[in-house]
Structure formats: C-alpha cells, structure tokens
Amino acid sequence: MSTDKSQNALFVAVFKLIRPLARALLRNGVPYGAFADIAKRAYVDVAMTEFEVPGKKSTISRAATITGLSRKEIRRLMTVEDDDDQDRVVKYNRAARVVYGWVHDKQYADKDGQAAILPFEGERASFSTLVKAYSGDVPPRAILDELAQVGVVECASDGGIRLLARAYIPTSGEAEKLALLGKDVAGLITTMDKNIHGLGDKPFFQRKVFYDNLPQEVIPALQDILEERGQNLLEYLDQWMAQRDRDINPKAAGTGRKAAGIGIYYFEESIESIEEGVAVSTAESVQNNEESAQGRAGEIVKEDAVVRENSK
C-alpha cells in the first residue's frame, strides 16, 4: 500500500477514534484547547522516549523535527507536570483484588463454596484479614467504604458484610473510572498498532464479531449472553493469572516481569435504514456492494490476519 493511501486510511481511522473520545471530553467539560495541549504532550513524550536514533540520546531538536513542534514549545511541554493517575489505578486494583479474594479464596467461603458473610474484624476470615491479604496496608474501612459506595457490598444490621457482586466497577463519572478509559483504550490501540506493523514475532489476539441488521428485540438477549459467558471467561482467566502473579502468589516461579491483560467489551450503534430496508452502518463505508452482501451478513473479523495482510 502506498504512503499516501496508508496515511489517508490512518486519518479516517483517527477521525473515527477521536469522535467517541471527543464525546467523552465534551461531556466532562473539556474544551478543545485543553485536548490539543494534551495531544502535544503525548507527541513529545513518545518522540522523546520511543523514536530515538539508535545509539544516540534523544534530543529536543530531533523531537521538533519529527513532531513539527517548535523547540520552544517542546521545552514548555516537557516542564508541565504530569497528572499521574497511578494512585487512582492502584486504588482500583486493590479494591478489585479484595473482591477476587472473596470470590476465590476458600478461606472466605461458606459451606456452599460461595462468598461468606464476613465480620469486619476478627483473627480469621474477617473483612479486615481479607483486605490485609489481598490489598496490603490499605485501611480496611477505606476499601469497605469504596465497595459499599459502588454497590458491591452491603452491611447487615448485625455487622456482617455481604458481597453482592463478583466484580468491582467504579462509580460512573468518578476519576477512577475515567482513569480506566485511558488504560483500557490505550491497551487496545497498542495491540492494534503492534498487529498492523508486524511488531514482534507473533501478533496479539484481536477478534471481533459484528452484525449490522439486528432487530432491537434481540439486543437484551445478546447482552445477557455476553454478561454470563463473558463474565465466566474473565473469572477463569482472572483465577489462572492470579495463581501466577507474584504479588498475589509470591511462590510463583519464573523470571522477568510482564504486565498482560484480556479485555471484553460490548458496543452498539444506531443504524439508518435506506433503499428498501438495507441497513448500512454510519460508522463504516461500504466499498463494494457485492463484497458487502457476502461479508456483512455476519462476520467474525480476524483483525490480526487482516492488518498483517494490509501491511505487506
């Protein structure tokens, strides 16, 4: 594929990527100027840390050349303090680990193997010992307040603490949930970038199933199927990975250190019907009617194979 065609395809992809991001930014009162400044900072950060000339130290002049920004602007951006979201991410991880231990650790299960109702304090099988085992030195009351706020636990009149959900999801609109927007979307884009450019020995797993003419009546059933089977898969993977994570299981064998994750998400689009009820997605352009009739009736897209073919 020629450079011009590749760049045009990239511009189209970036526009589609930015639209939902712009929606989230506007919903949270972020003006364009603030977004543009963040984009500049990202350009400078990547240019300085990932695009250095082999054997040479990164320089402001080099960053200016590849980003198109002035050296004065790059110096200014490099002095801006980074609003690190690490504290929010750590808070999320610790709360999620507590829920994980409650669900999977037999010490905190009842006689039926389900998450037991726990007293707040006690030497054995209490909420405090659970937090200590799975969340380190964080005060148990802080974790309890967070889990109660998002509806994951409830406190009974007798002081017992009951688990209501098998997963921890931050409250909508909170900083913790917005921090996940950056981490989760960044992970997906990094995977796609690796697969498109053939980085590494093996492409990362990347799949999607998509139909564009579903009646609205089947959507609730589809969501129920995904919630049940998707949750079961994630819980299996969660348990498998936790057994091999050296923070949770210090006895786990192995060398080096890697961070890895698997994400499952659902998306839905409104479709405009035209020409005798043929539904066409407003988010995709149809290049060939014959290919569309054959391929869009129901397609499991293997993106890793597609992007590797396109990159040849």
Amino acid letter for position 157? S
How confident is the model over 142-175, as pLDDT tens digits? 899 888 888 899 998 888 999 998 877 765 456 6
Burial class of residue 29 in the structure, from the number of CB atoms within 10 Å of its CB (0-12 exposed, 13-18 middle, 19+ buried)? exposed
Domain presence at residue 90: yes
Domain presence at residue 111: yes
CATH code where residue 110 lies: 1.10.10.10
Phi, psi of 251 (to 5 degrees): -85, -5
Number of domain units in the chain: 1
In the predicted structure, residue 51 carries a pLDDT above the cut 90: no
Phi, psi of 127 (to 5 degrees): -65, -35
Tokens representing 4 are 């011009």
How confident is the model over 188-239, as pLDDT tens digits? 888 988 888 887 778 999 999 999 999 999 999 999 999 999 989 998 998 8
Domain presence at residue 19: no
Contact 142, 129 (CB under 8 A): no
pLDDT range class, residue 176, cuts 50, 70, 90? low
Domain presence at residue 287: no
Which residues are within 8 A (CB) of 17 and not within 5 positions of it... i.e. 6 or more apart?
A: 189
Domain presence at residue 13: no
What's residue 92's pLDDT?
62
Cα–Cα distances in angstroms (integers) from residue 53 to residues 22, 63, 66, 70, 106, in the given order: 34, 11, 12, 19, 53
Nearest to 66, CA basis, from 40, 38, 43, 49: 43
pTM of the entire predicted model: 0.55
pLDDT range class, residue 304, cuts 50, 70, 90? very low
Average pLDDT, the chain: 80
How confident is the model over 117-150, as pLDDT tens digits? 999 998 788 999 999 888 877 899 989 988 888 8
What's residue 96's pLDDT?
83
Contact 282, 271 (CB under 8 A): yes
Domain presence at residue 168: no
pLDDT range class, residue 281, cuts 50, 70, 90? very low
What's residue 56's pLDDT?
84
Domain presence at residue 153: yes
| DSSP track, 166-199 | SS--PPTTSHHHHHHHHHHHHHHHHHHHHHHHT-
Domain presence at residue 30: no
pLDDT range class, residue 47, cuts 50, 70, 90? very high
Distance of CA 308 to the CA centre of its chain: 23
* Domain around 95: 86-163
How far is residue 233's CA from residue 240's CA, in Å, rounded to a whole number?
11
